[in-house]
Amino acid sequence: MADIPGAPPVPISHLTRAQDRLTFLYLEHCIVHRDANAITARDARGTVHIPAATVGALLLGPGTQVSQQAMVLLAESGATAVWVGEHGVRYYAHGRSLARSSRLLEAQAALVSNQRSRLRVAREMYAMRFPGEDTTGLSMQQLRGREGARVRRVYRQHAERTGVEWDRRDYDSADFAAGTPINQALSAANTSLYGVVHAVIVALGCAPGLGFVHTGHVRSFVFDIADLYKAEITIPVAFDIASREVSDIGAETRRAIRDRMKDGAFLETCVRDIKTLLTGEDEEIEYGPEAFEDADVVMLWDSNGRTVAGGTSYWEDEDEI
């Protein structure tokens, strides 16, 4: 038999678990191609090689040209390619998921489709954000009220800590430069966080659009999960950057967010939190090579609550048709 045309897929044994990958890498004004199992980024200064199997999200900014072979490698490696706008503050599209199992997706869909379970997960999210506060029995209106007060307090605390003048969150998504330095830094920080969280969500096979607190947007679940970490990551980093004289607030903020996530083992935390919210389990999650032994096995649903093997003929008697 003739060989299948095209580059062979990356061996499963070479893949890295979602929680062990680099958080994100932002590229702009370069040509993105492939060299063996590495993504290359080339501009006037030279070429950089990036191991595709270790990247969580590759953010492709303005001026990037990406080859078909580079996209094939990213897809086979389970790395999420995200096309973003200038400064990385606008989201356009993303690539393929690392996951092959629908287990977490089914759990997410079941929880979000029932009002009681949806409210329970929303309460758990707020409890994660505000440790020590009892969210038991609170309605969504009460949760939103507590969130507003808590977030305003966090903003004031970091404004006092850094000496940055703070009024309110105010930005124009169509005009990044029109915002104050602190609002620019917050926009860049939050977008970087959204990109990484989006990569984790799709890597685990969950639906970015099925949110528990947010709703009606294709990234509602991304915003839900990202909100868990803003008080600890993006808000303090943004105020730190805004308190300094920097030539490029967007670039400096992205680098600072990257370093903060790396130091705090962010991917592992994010994966664990999503799994806990959707399944109630907190054990280590294996989304590496060992999880893909039966990756492409497709099962058929049976009304008695079981699953049966796909790719099998269940016809026994022509009279039963």
Q: What is the CA radius of gyration of the chain?
A: 22
**217 labelled binding-site residue:** no
CA distance 227 to 270: 11
What does 193-238 look like in DSSP terms, one character per residue? Answer: HHHHHHHHHHHTT--TT--SSS-SSTTHHHHHHHTTTTTTTHHHHH
CA distance 216 to 204: 21
| Pick from 37, 20, 36, 15: nearest CA to 100 | 15
**147 labelled binding-site residue:** yes
| Pick from 28, 87, 58: nearest CA to 248 | 87
Beta sheet of 38-43, edge-to-edge order: 46-51, 38-43, 31-35, 65-66
As annotated, the binding site for Mn(2+) includes 147, 214, 227
The binding site consists of 147, 214, 227
